[in-house]
Amino acid sequence: MTNITTDFHMHSTFSPDGDDSPAVLCQAALAQGLTAIAITEHAEWQPDAGFTGLPETEVYFAEMARCRAKFAARGLQVYTGVELGNPHQFYDEATWLVESYPFDVVIASLHWLNGHNIHMPECFADRDPYEVYTEYFIQLARLASDFHFDILAHFDRIIWRGTLLGIGFDPHRIEWVVRHALATVAEHGRVLELNTRSVNDPDNWNEAMVTMFRWFREAGGNRVVINSDAHRRGEVGRNRAIAQQMLAQAGFTYPANYFQLNPAIQLDMAA
């Protein structure tokens, strides 16, 4: 059982790696019993990303306006959004994008470390994995302090990649640097996302995540969000019941500590 009925991080075909249209994702959200979603497309400036900025921004907003009108009548609030890859390292470009378009929610992610995509095994090549994790969390603190955004996405993603390589992860081994990054996220008022893509997989994952969310709370962090990061219809709203249990174990209560978007504010801004 869960009372989470939102999902503010997912990708449609306006992202290079998304499989379904915004309308199909909206339909999937309704089927999951969700009441509010944001469709947050990738924006990247790293040369190896294969694209620059957010391609087709105008077409995306036109399509989102259509979905917003169509699905509001069926009880689903549809919000616009963007997931910025390493925006602190592409400050001018990322600032231009978020100031030029009326995104309802701005997500930031660390997708790149030392020029390598963190989803790829190359970022661990010939390195001590805990040294790589340490560098990652140092960069995460810079991202949280140097760029203005709402939600920090999948702060655990590189560890997930490492664990798939059989490296494993014990947060206590690099406790000071993880705590420093999470304290910086808290200090700057960012929302910390529990990304449900890797929940339960691999083993011991949830325990490590609960530990790190507890450290976030101990550092003064008080706003969290559960997001699926869906790239196709079947992933919308996934694993949110277990995610809510994990956040409760870490000391976060619903709805007091949960990020929300306010439809009234959005309508005021549009007027």
Binding segment toward Zn ion, per CB under 5 A, in 47-55, 103-111, 243-251, 262-270: 103-111
Q: Tell me the two tokens of residue 172.
A: 């206590």
**Smallest gap, in angstroms, from Cβ of residue 40 to Zn ion?**
7
Does 109 sit near Zn ion (CB under 5 A)?
Answer: yes
Identify whether the C-beta of residue 71 lies closer than 8 Å to the C-beta of residue 30.
yes
Backbone angles phi, psi at 221, to 5 degrees: -65, 130
**DSSP state at residue 190:** P
Residue 5: which of 37, 44, 42, 48 has the closest Cα?
37
Contact letters for Zn ion, residues 160-199 (x by CB under 5 A): ----------------------------------------
**Smallest gap, in angstroms, from Cβ of residue 126 to Zn ion?**
25
Tell how far CA 164 is from the center of its chain: 20
Does 229 sit near Zn ion (CB under 5 A)?
Answer: yes
Nearer to Zn ion, 123 or 217 (CB): 123
Cβ-based neighbour number of residue 112 at 10 Å: 22
Cβ-based neighbour number of residue 17 at 10 Å: 9
Nearer to Zn ion, 83 or 156 (CB): 83
Give the nearest residue (CB) to Zn ion: 109
Identify whether the C-beta of residue 202 lies closer than 8 Å to the C-beta of residue 173.
no
**Smallest gap, in angstroms, from Cβ of residue 157 to Zn ion?**
7
Binding segment toward Zn ion, per CB under 5 A, in 64-72, 81-89, 187-195, 243-251: 81-89
Q: Which residues bind Zn ion (CB under 5 A)?
A: 83, 109, 229
